Amino acid sequence: MIRKLLVSALWVVVPLGAWEAAVRLAHVPAYILPAPSRIAVTFVEQSSMLARHGATTLVEIALGLTIASCLGFLLALALHAFPSFERAARPFLLASQMVPVFAIAPLLVVWLGYGIWAKVVVTALIGFFPIAVSESDGLRSASQSAIDLLRSMGATRRQILTKLLLPASLPALFSGLKLAATLSVVGATVGEWVGARRGLGFLMLEANARLRVDLVFASILMLTLIGLLLYVALRIIEQRALRWREAGTAERA
């Protein structure tokens, strides 16, 4: 256990050490690339400001991710329930994902203003496709023999959905959620770059303009922590929802 922690720590410490050494040896100025030590100091000094802005971005992410989850899930259900709709909608769905969300973010801001909702929509747009696709695949993951079994018991279509297809889709859904969570951090930040009064993306813009690159990195660090927090939270929920899977692996271990 200690060994595993040490190995993980090494993965963090070694690149940081190399970065620190490189910056010092090459005398890279702080306004081009600050050393990790400088970033750490800034992070601590500005922690309350970072936390304040972080809270704003976190709210945007949480709202966006929630909306993305609901919409993505519902879309997957609709695609499952209406195969003709799926055939018709598929090309549009794919095309919609080719448009970089960042390109339409400025338009969203014009329509929705500089408050929280433009960022929430950008975040939701980025997150909903991975969730819809994962859940859609998940709904198709049940074996034909399991479906046959339920049909042979006289199960209605609805019962097959609730007792078989939906529970079978959960592992895939969680994969999609974890992916969407990571993307949501990017979405909220980019939404803020287009126009904002606060948030970590906003802070990065202001800090960069003021040539405080250390603060830019400290903001990035904060964003990373938020992303990690989300991932861990999802993992915990996943472990509780899928405790049957954990039980199986525990037995084998």
Partner 1 sequence: MVCLSASAAPLSVCLDYLPNPNHVPLYAGIGLGLFAAQGLDVELVVPGNASDPAKLAAAGRADLALTPQINYLIARNEGLPLVTVGVYIDSSLGGLLALAESGVTTPADLAGRPIGYSLAPLEPALWMAMLGCAGVDSDDVDLVNVGFNTVTSLLAGSVDAIGAFRNVEAIQVELLGRSPVFFAQEAFCVPSAYDLVFVANPRLVRDRSADVAAFLDAVEQSIARTRETPTEALGVFVAQLPELDDELTRRSFDATLSLFATDVHRSDPTAWTDVQQFLVDVGLLADVAPFEALVAPDLATAAP
Partner 2 sequence: MAHLRIENVRKSFHTKRETLDALASVSFDVCAGQWLTCLGPSGCGKTTLLRIIAGLLEPDSGTVALDGGRPRLGRSAYLPQEDTLLPWRTALDNALLPAEIDGRPRAAATAEAVALFRRFGLCGFEAAYPAQLSGGMRQRVELARTFLAHRELLLLDEPLGALDPLTRAGLQAWLLEVWTELRRTILLVTHDVEEALVLSDRVLVLTSRPARVRDDVCLADWPRPRRRADLRLVAERERLLDTLAREAKP
Binding footprint of partner 1 on the chain (CB under 8 A): 29-32, 106, 109-110, 113-114, 193-197, 202, 205-206, 208-212
Question: Is residue 155 involved in binding partner 2 (CB under 8 A)?
Answer: yes
Picked from partner 1, partner 2, none, the partner binding residue 209 (CB below 5 to 8 A depending on kind) is partner 1
Picked from partner 1, partner 2, none, the partner binding residue 143 (CB below 5 to 8 A depending on kind) is partner 2
Q: From 192, 182, 158, 172, select the one nearest 232 (Cα to Cα).
A: 182
Picked from partner 1, partner 2, none, the partner binding residue 152 (CB below 5 to 8 A depending on kind) is partner 2
Task: Read off the tokens for 185.
Answer: 């951090």
Give helix 200-209 / helix 47-81 axis angle, nearest 10°.
130
Question: Is residue 161 involved in binding partner 2 (CB under 8 A)?
Answer: no
Nearest distance in Å: CB 193, partner 1 = 6
Instruction: Give Cα separations from 30 to 12, 27, 208, 213 (angstroms).
Output: 21, 9, 12, 7
The span of 40-48, 156-164, 186-194, 195-203 binding partner 2 (CB under 8 A) equals 156-164
Tokens 């859609």 -> residue? 136
Nearest distance in Å: CB 216, partner 1 = 10
* Cβ pair 131, 178 in contact under 8 A: no
- Among 164, 188, 216, 218, which residue sits at the site for partner 2 (rule: CB under 8 A)? 164
Query: Rule CB under 8 A: which of 16-75 touch partner 2?
Result: none
Separation of alpha carbons 234 and 7, rounded Å = 24
Separation of alpha carbons 213 and 31, rounded Å = 5
* Cβ pair 221, 79 in contact under 8 A: no
- Among 151, 182, 208, 227, which residue sits at the site for partner 2 (rule: CB under 8 A)? 151
Question: Is residue 157 involved in binding partner 2 (CB under 8 A)?
Answer: no
Q: From 250, 221, 238, select the one nearest 37 (Cα to Cα).
A: 221
Q: Which residues bind partner 2 (CB under 8 A)?
A: 143, 145-146, 148-155, 159, 163-164, 167-168, 170, 242, 244-245, 247-249, 251
